[in-house]
Amino acid sequence: MKIVNSIGLSFCQMMQRLPPLPSIQEIIRIYGLSARKKLSQNFLLDLNLTKKIVKSAGILDGCIVIEVGPGPGGITRPLLNSNANKIIVIEKDSRFLPSLQILAEASKQRLEAIHGDILSTNLSSLIPSACQTQWDSSPPLVHIIGNLPFSVSTPLIIQWLHSISTRSSAWSLGRIPLTLTFQKEVAERIVAPPKSEYRCRLSVMCQYLCDVKLKFSIPGRAFVPPPKVDVGVVHFVPKIKPLINQPFKVVEKVNRHLFHLPNKYCSKAVSTFFPLEREDLCTDMIELSGINPEKRPFELSVEDIRRFCDAYVEILKREPELFEYDFRSQASSKERRNKGNLIQSLEDQIGNSNHFDDDESYLKGVGVR
């Protein structure tokens, strides 16, 4: 990780606007910044849209803003025109550093550009500890924003949700909000309420830890080059009290089992939690949860899933080794056949939906129904 530029801050600098600069299109042309398919680069050149993304983050006055994947700086520019105190950008592709350097100089060093991979960046080391606020008070004056490739934004939000659940990494400093772009279909899943056709594991994992809001959508044609799908801008604010008070791994496992069969009765999904010969435990789990076994997983509220998590943990207290049980490796031949059908149907759905090349693996990973 290489720091290209660092800054000193003052209120006057904070209030300054950028001087006239070459347009993003000119920057791309001058530096020969063609979009790289390998890094799923799709640029937003329309400053009205990038301003709208920045506006949807809320009031940034006096904030430290961390932008992931600035590219040629389409979002960075309105960030520098806001009253944010400091903007730290993290970019994996070194070709963008010279153009970010121009912005750093034009902004009188309010911008710090870091050459690095967001997936392995220690965010807490970038934020002064003076920014810290108590978890149960207002969020700190820090914001994370980014228009990342779809292949990165979903694994990243899962990684960050884990950090939010343990109050680690950047979230050791308080309830830092995020504004991130996703493939529109993934954004719909993140915010999907019970009974929605989009309800899935990702909906529950996001909603038990954060207040989530789909701010607006951007048509694919607004990007250069245009992806085949539209994009949704999602705002996350970590909740003071998560709706499920169990370890992240437990919540993840319970969701994985429940949404394995999202449209069948819950009793069927609960039968995947335990070995075939332990039907007694399935009955226990339904009874302890108090959930109607004829509800279907996609109809469950986060509160219902909280009850399943608590019931599962009660059973694990008696037989902790059951946590290791993996229905996918232990499935009977009949179940394996069913599973084969399920994977086939997932592949059919994904194959028909014109996603980016590398969407397939992460959409499977987040439980597309």
Binding site as annotated, residues = 42, 44, 69, 91, 117, 147
Taking the CB of residue 133, how many other CB atoms lie within 10 A of it?
15
**Residue 367 Cβ, how far from ligand SAM at the closest point, in Å?**
23
User: Is residue 233 a contact partner of residue 187, using CB atoms and an 8 Å limit?
Assistant: yes
**Residue 240 burial class via C-beta count within 10 angstroms: exposed 0-12, middle 13-18, buried 19 and up:** exposed
Cis peptide before 78 (omega within 30 of 0): no
Asked if 158 touches ligand SAM (CB under 6 A), the answer is no
- Angle value at C-alpha 254, between 251 and 258, nearest 5 degrees: 135
Give whichever of 152 and 212 is closer to ligand SAM, judged by the CB atom.
152
Reported for 9-15, long-range contacts at CB under 8 A and 24+ positions apart, including other chains, are: 9/85, 9/86, 9/110, 13/107, 13/108, 13/109, 13/110, 14/62, 14/83, 14/84, 14/85, 14/110, 15/83
Given the rule CB under 6 A, which of 6-14, 70-78, 262-270, 322-330 is the region that contacts ligand SAM?
Answer: 70-78
Asked if 127 touches ligand SAM (CB under 6 A), the answer is no
Asked if 42 touches ligand SAM (CB under 6 A), the answer is yes
User: Is residue 192 a contact partner of residue 357, using CB atoms and an 8 Å limit?
Assistant: no
Q: What is the DSSP letter of 204?
A: H
- Interface pick for ligand SAM out of 3, 30, 59, 119 (rule CB under 6 A): 119
Given the rule CB under 6 A, which of 86-94, 129-137, 260-268, 284-292 is the region that contacts ligand SAM?
Answer: 86-94
Give whichever of 151 and 272 is closer to ligand SAM, judged by the CB atom.
151
Asked if 90 touches ligand SAM (CB under 6 A), the answer is yes
Phi, psi of 216 (to 5 degrees): -170, 170
Asked if 91 touches ligand SAM (CB under 6 A), the answer is yes
Asked if 182 touches ligand SAM (CB under 6 A), the answer is no
What's the gap between Cα 221 and its chain centre?
23
Asked if 74 touches ligand SAM (CB under 6 A), the answer is yes
Task: Give the span between the Cα atoms of 174 and 167, in whole angstroms.
Answer: 8
Give whichever of 72 and 262 is closer to ligand SAM, judged by the CB atom.
72
Give whichever of 149 and 262 is closer to ligand SAM, judged by the CB atom.
149
**Residue 255 Cβ, how far from ligand SAM at the closest point, in Å?**
25
**Residue 109 Cβ, how far from ligand SAM at the closest point, in Å?**
21
**Residue 267 burial class via C-beta count within 10 angstroms: exposed 0-12, middle 13-18, buried 19 and up:** middle
**Residue 315 Cβ, how far from ligand SAM at the closest point, in Å?**
39
**Residue 43 Cβ, how far from ligand SAM at the closest point, in Å?**
4
Q: Of 89, 107, 77, 106, which Cα lies nearest the Cα of 9?
A: 107
**Residue 187 Cβ, how far from ligand SAM at the closest point, in Å?**
15
Contact positions vs ligand SAM (CB under 6 A): 39, 41-44, 68-71, 74-75, 90-93, 96, 117-119, 147-149, 152
